Amino acid sequence: MIPLCDLRKQYAVLKDEIDSVMQQVAGDAHYILGPNVKAFEQEIADYCGSRFAVGVGSGTDALYLALRALNIGQGDEVITTPFTFIGTTEAISLVGATPTFVDIDPQTFNIDVRLIEAAITPRTKAILPVHLYGQPCEMDAIVKIAEEHGLEIIEDCAQSIGATYRGQQTGTFGKAGCFSFFPSKNLGCFGDGGLVLTDDREVYERVEMLRRHGGKVKYHHTEVGLNSRLDELQAAILRVKLKYLESWSRSRRRCAYQYNRLLAGVSGVRLPNEICTSGYCSSLAQNEASDLVEAVYHQYTVLVEGRDSVRDSLTESGIGCAVYYPVPLHLQEVHQDLGWQVGSFPNAEYASERCLSLPIFPELTEEQVHRIAGTLQQISKPAMQVA
Ligand SMILES: Cc1ncc(COP(=O)(O)O)c(C=O)c1O
């Protein structure tokens, strides 16, 4: 069996280091907002090239707290993509604002920057781009639109830690970058965890206060906050893992480019594209030379005809795979009040019906990628004929 993501393997490699810091935290008994949280916040801020970082309870909380810190709420609209995890829009809805969807660019799976301006209304307060699968959005265009229309940018970096756009880390383009440390993320802890990154001292102080019940001084509360602190134990684990992140990202890219090579030309399978200075790139040569983005391949996602039967066949062949995401958010029951319908965002719908994420993790071997690609090649042809 080749799993989609192999957390056991990662732990086996890091066991001594991780066990040691966990024991240290247990012994020190400083379990809430202790020295590891503080040190990790500084280390992530330094790694990303930002001034401040606040560790919080999850990626969803990070988005919620960032929106709160920017005073986005009732009556406001936030532009985002319908092709993302529900946490993105949950945060928008929880602050009382309305998610306004803009279709994706079918080449990148990310928000189509050419469609953003048409979605701006007098109520629009922010753009919330999601760097899906670890592929940076077209940030030049998003920053330009935001500046021209006086909008905030809050980046959803749950899947993109370490990814860069023109050499700049995702999460540093707007007022806040929001990260998730859910176990299967590129930098994952042993439970839930998240973080808000910002250069803005006010945003930093506000998120820091909101994460611990809305008060700067213990038992004195100035506004309704919540209990959303990154655990000390999780921070200690994340500090160990952060040291390996860059090499893990390189391994993920190596796997992705190997897939690109092996799957090029396979009928019925469309490979993921990266953006680069000359437009889109999907071939091996440009991927290796891409000077505009460095994606971190949280997922390696192809579009495949007859997706469900291909998924079932891969699973039967002992290859883990997953569908991220089968229902775009504008068609989710929870968002029915927004009034969108089938056909509202055709590219997101098209992707939802065909997307299939293949195994990708730093420890995946070249041999395994060969086996996966070979199996997919065999499976996809009959599936195409049926489709
Ligand atoms: C794109 C995206 N946004 C937000 C989230 C929410 O993060 P969390 O699960 O840590 O709340 C996730 C996590 O799966 C995600 O993938």
Q: Does residue 158 fall inside a structural domain?
A: yes
State pLDDT tens for residues 253-297.
999 999 999 999 999 999 998 776 455 654 434 444 456 789 999
Task: Find the 181 Cα to ligand 1 centroid distance in Å.
Answer: 9
Number of domain units in the chain? 2
Q: Please say which residue of 186, 216, 242 terminates a domain.
A: 242
Q: In angstroms, what is the span from residue 80 Cα to ligand 1's centroid?
A: 14
Scanning the structure block, which residue is given the tokens 């109520």? 123
Q: Please state the separation of Cα 376 from the chain's center in Å.
A: 25
Residue 36: what residue type? Answer: N
Q: Is residue 215 part of a domain?
A: yes
What CATH number does residue 334 fall under? Answer: 3.90.1150.10
Residues 293 and 313 in one domain: yes
Ligand 1 centre and the CA of 381: distance in Å? 34
Domain residue limits at 143: 7-242
In this structure, are 221 and 312 located in the same domain? no
Q: What distance in Å separates the CA atoms of residue 191 and residue 238, rounded to the nearest whole number? A: 11
Tell me: the pLDDT tens digits for 159-197? 999 999 989 999 999 999 999 999 999 999 999 999 999
Domain assignment present for residue 203? The answer is yes
Query: Which residue, of 226, 242, 258, is where some domain finishes?
Result: 242
Kindly state if the Cβ of 50 falls inside 6 Å of ligand 1: no
Of 212, 242, 272, the position where a domain reaches its end is 242
pLDDT tens-digit map of 201-243: 999 999 999 999 999 898 999 999 999 999 999 999 999 999 9
What is residue 386's predicted lDDT score, i.e. its pLDDT? Answer: 42
Is the residue at 2 inside a domain?
A: no
Atom of ligand 1 nearest to the CA of 130: 1
If asked whether residues 272 and 142 sit together in one domain, one would say no
Give the residue among 93, 69, 71 at the shortest CA–CA distance from 80: 93
Query: Are 187 and 259 found together in one domain?
Result: no
Q: Where would I find the H helices in 106-152?
A: 139-149
Helix-, strand-, coil-residue percentages of the chain, each rounded to 5 = 45, 20, 40
Of the chain, the end-to-end C-alpha distance in Å amounts to 27
Q: Are residues 205 and 184 in the same domain?
A: yes
| Together in a domain, 366 and 307 | yes
Query: Which strand (E) or helix (H) includes residue 242?
Result: helix 232-242
Nearest residue to 78 via CA among 140, 139, 130, 141: 130
Judgement on whether residues 125 and 270 belong to the same structural domain of the protein: no
CATH of the domain at 224: 3.40.640.10
* Distance between CA atoms of residues 130 and 107, nearest Å: 15
Q: What is the pLDDT of residue 175?
A: 98
pTM, to two decimals: 0.95
* Vertex 87 angle, CA 81 and 91, to 5°: 90
Whole-number Å distance, alpha carbon 83 to ligand 1 midpoint, is: 13
Query: In terms of domains, do 74 and 211 share one?
Result: yes
Q: Is the CB of 180 under 6 A from ligand 1?
A: yes
Ligand 1 atom at minimal distance to the Cα of residue 192: 10
Q: Please count the CA atoms within 13 angstroms of the CA of 48 that sit on its side-chain side.
A: 28
233 and 188 in contact (C-beta within 8 Å)?
Answer: no
At 311-329, the pLDDT tens digits run 999 999 999 999 999 999 9
Give the residue, out of 182, 185, 192, 297, with the most ligand 1 atoms within 8 A of its beta carbon, to mutate for a pocket test. 182
From the alpha carbon of 193, which atom of ligand 1 is closest?
A: 10
Share of the chain above pLDDT 90, in %: 90
Give whole-number Cα distances, 148 to 145, 152, 174, 178, 220, in Å. Answer: 5, 11, 14, 23, 40
| Other Cβ atoms within 10 Å of 202 Cβ, number | 11
Does residue 114 share a domain with residue 59?
A: yes
- Rounded distance, CA 311 to CA 303, Å? 11
194 in contact with ligand 1, CB cutoff 6 A: yes
The verdict on 138 and 30 lying in the same domain is: yes
Please check whether residue 97 lies inside any domain of the structure. Answer: yes
Nearest CA owner, ligand 1 atom 14: 85
Residue 357 resides in a domain: yes
Residue 198 belongs to a domain: yes
User: Which residues are CB-neighbours of 211 under 8 A, at least 6 positions away?
Assistant: 54, 56, 57, 61, 65, 225, 226, 227, 228, 229
Q: CA dihedral in degrees (361, 364, 370, 371; nearest 10)?
A: -100
Q: How far is the CA of 375 from the centre of ligand 1 (A)?
A: 30
Q: Are residues 208 and 265 in the same domain?
A: no
Q: Residue 318 domain-assigned?
A: yes
Q: What is the mean pLDDT of the segment spanning 81-95?
A: 98
**295/256 Cα distance (integer angstroms):** 10
Report d(CA 368, CA 365) in Å as an integer. Answer: 5
Shared domain check, 32 and 106: yes
